[in-house]
Chains A and B, each alone.
Chain A
Amino acid sequence: MYGGGYGQSYQEQRLQQLMEQKQLRDFMRMYTNLVGRCFDDCIADFNSNTLNDKELACTTRCTLKNMKFNERLGQRFAEENAKLMEEQAKAAGQ
């Protein structure tokens, strides 16, 4: 990533480590958010201590839909980010 073909420097290793930590943290955040969101949107009453069919179906759809949402958002974000980087590179080159 920083160029230079000889093994990994301390900084490279550290960055790798940071990325992994961050990915884990992102995943956990995503997971908690997803549970929270689907619970909030699908569970309306507490007449029973188990999910009824409707709640279960809603939760399933909610999970899948939100994952698709995240996927699409990620794609668009990457595209826009690339565009922005390009602009900045161009501006810096002037």
Chain B
Amino acid sequence: MFGGVFGGSNTNKGQAQPMPGSMPGMNAAQMDPNAQLAAAEQEMEMVTEMFANLGELCKQKCIIQRYHDEELSKAESVCIDRCVSKYFQVNRVVNDKLAKLSLANQQG
């Protein structure tokens, strides 16, 4: 259902935010260029939205808001890594379930 919703993985070096750089995984070759563009736009929107959402969540969960130090502590760094990983896992689970559900709805 959300096939290829996540953009490519090229990050712009020196920039905090990854920008999606590829077309959606959907059979882009078969779509007309304007539809491709719309899909790419939507995909970008989705990825940025996700990134912002993830940032807010992991900041809340991982960063101690006292600022005794300008460096990320070891614990905070590890927490960020795990937070991102888990967020993607949750994303997979939700995506799978929704896909199955919508498939069942179509067939039923």
- Docked-complex contact A62 and B84, CB < 8 angstroms: no
Which residues of chain B come closer than 8 Å to A11, judged between CB atoms? 33-34, 36-37
B104 on the A face (CB < 8 A): no
Nearest Cβ on chain B to A32's Cβ, whole angstroms? 12
Number of chain B residues whose Cβ lies closer than 8 Å to a Cβ of chain A: 52
Q: For A65, give its contact among B9, B10, B72 (CB under 8 Å).
A: B72
Contact present for B85 and A88 (CB under 8 Å) = no
CA distance A70 to B76 in the complex (A): 12
Could you say which residues of chain B place their CB within 8 Å of the CB of A80? 84-85, 87-88
Asked if A41 and B58 sit within 8 Å, CB to CB, the answer is no
**A1-43 vs B: 1/0 string, CB under 8 Å?**
1100000011100110011001100100110000001000110
Interface residues of B (CB under 8 A from A): 3-4, 6-11, 15-19, 21-23, 25, 33-34, 36-37, 40-41, 44-45, 47-48, 51-52, 54-55, 58-59, 62-63, 65-72, 76-77, 80-81, 84-85, 87-88, 92
Top 5 A-B residue pairs of the complex, sorted by shortest distance between their CB atoms = A82-B9, A70-B16, A76-B84, A64-B70, A61-B67
Besides A65-B71, A85-B22, 13 more A-B contacts (Cβ < 8 Å) are A22-B19, A37-B59, A61-B68, A64-B70, A68-B71, A69-B63, A69-B72, A72-B72, A74-B16, A75-B11, A84-B88, A88-B6, A89-B25
